[in-house]
Structure 1
Amino acid sequence: MSERSADESTAGTFGSWPPLLKHGAALTGFALATLILVSPMDIAAVVWPVVVADALMLAAAVFAIVLPRSSLSPRWEIVIPLVTFVAVALLRTATGGQLSPFGALMIIPVVWIASQPGLRYVLISFAGVLGVVAVPFVVGISSVSVAADVARLVFTPAVFAIAAVLINQIARVQNDRLVRLQRLGLERDRLVQSLEDSTREALRRQEQTLEAARLRDSVWEAITGHAIIGTDLDGTVNVWNRGAVSLLGYSSTEAIGRLDILDVHPRYDEARSALRGGADAPEATDWTYARKDGTTFPAHVLVTERFDEDGDPAGFIFVATDETEATELQRLKDEFTSLISHELRTPLSSILGYVELLRPEDDFDDPMTDQQLKYLDVVDRNARRLLQLVGDLLFTAQVGSGRFTIEPVPTSLTGLVRAAVDTATPAADEAHITLTVVTPDDDVNASVDPVRIGQALDNLLSNAVKFTPRGGSVTIGLESAPGAARLIVADTGIGIPADEVARLSERFFRASTATQHAVKGVGLGLTITKAIVTAHAGTIDIDSTVGAGTTFTVELPL
């Protein structure tokens, strides 16, 4: 409710009463006066003014009934006390004027009007009293003959004016109190509503929290294949799930609050130092965990730092997966690869040897036909291709088993780049691919294994040529940077999807674009290249856009 509407609804002593109820006092007074006039009392009166006065009062009563149901403003109700003033003036004129016994009826419209907010209503009520007092003198019913008449003519309106002022001020104080009470009531209602809304929201959030807790507990209980261990900053275990019970053999009672993480995780101090030093959470790492019975197993572990509600470090979370089966499977794969490679290398070497023996010499008595020589070239080419594949398989097996070593010597990287270009030129020319070399004027030297780095460059260049459509271009560049050298191989080929770039170093992985374009390969070249670069403490970065090309950047320390 607005302030204005509040003032209107509570205005005056009787402001909140219906108009008919407020008019009831005047009706009662006139009814009593009429009864007195028709009683045996000998009171002289002129009939027609009395009848008109009673008719006006009845008309005002009808208006009081109709007003609340009409479209008129509530302010129109002031017409009713004004009509009452007219009726009182008629009644006094009909019953002796200044000597009429019914002049006291003026107090009823005075109270009604003066109780409205604002001093103008005091003036209206004073004007009404003055009019009622003056009418008998105006129409000649009364006259000013003695000083007492003058006193009554002046004193009566003055007293009623003073009474109107008092009534107006009392009503104003009451109105202010009522308005404050209404405002307080509205504010209370708003506060109650807000409290109810807050209570409902709190209950809803509580239910959501309980539901989240139930979901967390159900998920927590369902995780049995991963050991989830939480510690405080000192390494004391305070979280131990069912997976930890299953994998490590300690019950929750034995672990929580009693077990130190170093009992199962010997690399804890290293991980804590890295995280507390401001580093991001380390990537999942292969470590060794110790069980309660003293046995160990390889674990794939992800470590993250925990924080309290204030954002301060509170401990660490370790999520470990038993990698025993995966490690054994990898070992078997490496053994199988190595075994097959060795078993293939011997017969392939023999085939290549016999191919050389079958090639005719100048004094050969029984020369081969052109068709036979063509077949012999096919055998030689495929045997060498298989021998290269066997070599790649042996190399990846050495990398997987940790037996891969390099022999760094001072080497001209410029010379390795030119040699790789010479090797790739025939294939590039055959595919009508432009091969561009960008090297600095000064020779760039580094301590590397020339055979392995040359092999890496050959792989990158051959891939670039192989995956670039006819008419494209391949650029190999060499840059010297502070403390490092960069080898850059860029092509305008088919590109690699962004979500597959990270998998290019996996053995036997081939990008979907390679299979879609039916480009031959087994997916070992980049695996070997990555292993060579990593062994030299270098990095390899790949930037590729499908349909636009790929750029490989190898950075080697000088």
Structure 2
Amino acid sequence: MERQRKAATVRVAAASRRHRGGSFGSWSPLLKQVAALVGFVLANLVLLSPVVVEVVPALVIAADALVLAAAAFAFVLPRSTLNPAWELAVPVVTFAAVALLRVGTGGQASPFAALMVIPLVWIASEPGVRSVVIAAVGVVVTICLPFFVGVSAVTSPADAVRLVFTPMAFTIAAVLINQIARVVNRRVQQLEELNAERDRLVETLERANRAARKRELQAINANALLDGVWNDITGHAIIGTDRSGLVTVWNPGAASLLGYTAEEAIARLNITELHRRDELRDFAGLVGTARSGLRDVRDWTYSRKDGTVFPAQVSIAERLDEEGEPAGFVFVATDETDAKEIERLKDEFAGLISHELRTPLSSILGYVELLRSDDDEPLTRQQDKYLGVVERNARRLLQLVGDLLFTAQVDSGGFRVRPVPTDLPTVLRAALESARPVAESAGVELRSDVGEGELRLGVDPVRLGQAVDNILSNAVKFTPRGGSVTVGLESAPDEVRIVVADTGYGIAEHELHRLSERFFRAGTATKNAVQGVGLGLTITKAIVTAHGGRIDISSVLGEGTSIAIALPRASISGSAARR
């Protein structure tokens, strides 16, 4: 836009220079000189006619030569590098030619005095008082020259009056011409400015039209792409509703999963009709979390048109209109039938393997202990080294079996915690000391922000220690060499938070809600070859939930992860708490 304004200013300035003398000033110098040439041609024809005029041939020839020279200069001037101000030399020379012609054709009695009107108009049409002065001087010289050279004389009062009045009259005419030219020039300049503004507006409008056409094509392509994606999504039911739950959007995936066509669902079906009555009381209970602006992903049981049901994971989000006001809700449902079956098979497999492996592993560890304690036949150093490998791996497998049995116990409802008044800083320091050898081996710095004071809470110290150990172990494993892990304790009026923060690989946002799933491993764990089977956070969540607390997880890829165990200050009542 700034470039366009500058271009318009240049065009206006150029136009101003072209129109300095009004419409007459816009002509080329040669075109303006044509009038003088025609006048002198007519004068020469008169001189060649039978009309009796006293002629001094040398002066007439000189006058004709000056006019032709001025015309030649007018032709050359636009093509030269001379300043355009030199253009005034053409009418000045023409004035001199007219003066010589008058002297050579009778002086005061010359019939060609009117020719001085041509250079007068030319000069007077140029802007400024200087032009009027030059024109007046030209008129005075042209009229008075015959008297100065003795060709004419003042013989009567009338001659004296003409000698004074005629220059004055022509000077007044020059002033009027100059003022008229100034007004015309200003109007022409204003017109040029308006034309430049019009050109700029037209150019802006054309550019806006091009941009609008481009956006229209982009919108058409985007709509076509959206329609294609919309029709291709058949594995997920995408359902839009108004604020009361009446269906307004029904994608092909919804028709495939639920059996209702779009015509049967839109404006006829309420979203609550898809839920089992024993799971959902009313629409407000379904969208309450979404209305508060929080992310709501829950498992529900959906009913198809034919009456069959299936487990569905449903994500609910509030939909806003163009003014930012609530307009309804969007539900994205996924059939979890296969996932639930896989989870059930995992549970059965975990229980089976746990029981089948625990006994032989205990036996292996027992025999390792016997071999190492046999004083009659001591082991060589190499044999002891091999047995050490056997023992470490057997204990690792035994720990895995223990974790599997623990999760099976949680699922069966047999998991209990036994809360007693416990000093939390002591539990955290013990966890730090247990993790320090592994951290030092991995090149990870352990930092404590626990504090020196005492903070007692009614918890199960063994189970809570197990939960902290799991989180701390994961933090060390997920932090590359040179990083750090910080364990902190935060106290609030209604809860206490145990925070473990690392500077490790981080976890993708879309994976955070799955971290407590059994056997789930984040993408960064696989990418960086972090060992584990995906049970640590599952066990930790079960322990924290049994204490009436919760786990808060935040993470940024490449920056680190923070996991907080939030425990209520109120002691857990009873001798045990059940998940």
Cα distance change on mapping 1:130 and 1:464 into 2, 3 Å: closer
Q: For 1:307-318, what aligned pairs fall within 5 Å after superposition?
A: 307-318=320-331
Matches of 1:333 and 1:62, distance apart in 2: 107
Match of 1:272 among 262, 266, 287: 287
Q: Which amino acid aligns with 2:295?
A: A
Secondary structure of the corresponding residue to residue 320 of structure 1: strand
Residues 407-453 of structure 1: per-residue CA shift (max 9 Å, x gap): 4444334698399679959999xx9x999999888764433345533
What residue is the counterpart of 1:303 in the other structure?
Answer: 316
Instruction: Label 1:238 to 1:422 Cα distance change in 2 as closer, same or farther (>3 A).
Output: closer
Q: CA contact under 8 A between 2:102 and 2:146: conserved in structure 1? A: yes
Stretch deviating more after TM superposition (199-208 or 115-124): 115-124
Which residue, out of 227, 245, 250, partners 1:240? Answer: 250
Give the structure 1 partner of residue 30 of structure 2: 20
Aligned counterparts of 1:486 and 1:9: Cα–Cα separation in 2: 83
Secondary structure of 1:499's aligned partner: coil
2:203 pairs, out of 181, 185, 193, with: 193
Residue 254 of structure 1 deviates from its aligned partner by 1.0
Q: Secondary structure at the match of 1:42?
A: coil
3-state secondary structure, aligned to 2:404:
helix
Query: Does residue 1:165 correspond to 2:175, yes or no?
Result: yes
TM-score by length of 1: 0.82
Partner in structure 1 of residue 20 of structure 2: 11
What's the TM-score, normalizing by structure 2?
0.79
Q: What is the match of residue 48 of structure 2?
A: 38
Partner of 1:448: 459
CA contact (8 A) 2:507 2:556 kept: no
- After alignment, is 68-77 or 380-389 more displaced? 380-389
Specify the SS of the correspondent of 2:312. strand
The match for 1:205 among 200, 207, 215 is: 215
- Matched residue SS, 1:116: coil
Aligned to 1:73: 83
Q: 2-side partners of 1:170 and 1:163: how far apart? A: 10
Provide the rounded CA distance (Å) in 2 between the counterparts of 1:318 and 1:243: 12
Q: Structure 1 regions of 5+ residues with no counterpart? A: 360-366
Percent identity between the two aligned chains: 56
Superposed displacement of residue 285, structure 1: 2.1
SS of the aligned residue for 2:333 comes to strand
C-alpha separation between the residues in 2 aligned to 1:152 and 1:422?
A: 122
In the TM superposition, what whole-angstrom CA distance separates every residue of 1:367-410 from its partner, at most 9, and x where no partner exists? 994459x99x99999877765543321211233x3625434444
The alignment partner of 1:498 has SS state of: coil
The whole-number CA distance in structure 1 between the counterparts of 2:392 and 2:268 is 67
Equivalent residues, number: 541
Alignment map for 1:17-416 (pairs within 5 Å):
17-265=27-275, 266=280, 268-277=283-292, 279-282=293-296, 284-345=297-358, 351=363, 369-370=376-377, 388-399=399-410, 401=411, 403-413=413-423
Alignment correspondent of 2:545: 534
Q: Quote the RMSD (CA, aligned, Å).
A: 4.5
Shift of 1:523: 4.9
Which residue is 1:362 aligned to?
Answer: none
Shift of 1:532: 0.7
- The DSSP-based 3-state class of the residue aligned with 2:24 is coil
* 2-structure distance, mates of 1:294, 1:173: 91
1:524 Cα offset (Å): 3.4
Q: Are residues 497 and 345 of structure 1, via their aligned partners in 2, closer, same or farther at CA, if it must alter by over 3 Å?
A: same
Cα 1:119/1:422, change in 2 over 3 Å: closer
Residue pair 2:479, 2:505 contacting (<8 A) in 1 also = no
Q: What is the CA-CA distance between 1:327 and the residue it aligns to?
A: 0.5
In 1, distance between residues paired with 2:528 and 2:181?
Answer: 96
Partner SS, residue 507 of structure 2: helix
Q: Does 33-42 or 327-336 show the bigger shift?
A: 33-42
Tell me how far apart the structure 2 counterparts of residues 513 and 207 of structure 1 sit (CA, whole Å): 40
Q: Please say if residues 496 and 511 of structure 1, whose CA atoms lie closer than 8 Å, have aligned partners that are also in contact.
A: no
Q: Contact 2:422–2:459 at 8 Å: present in 1 too? A: no
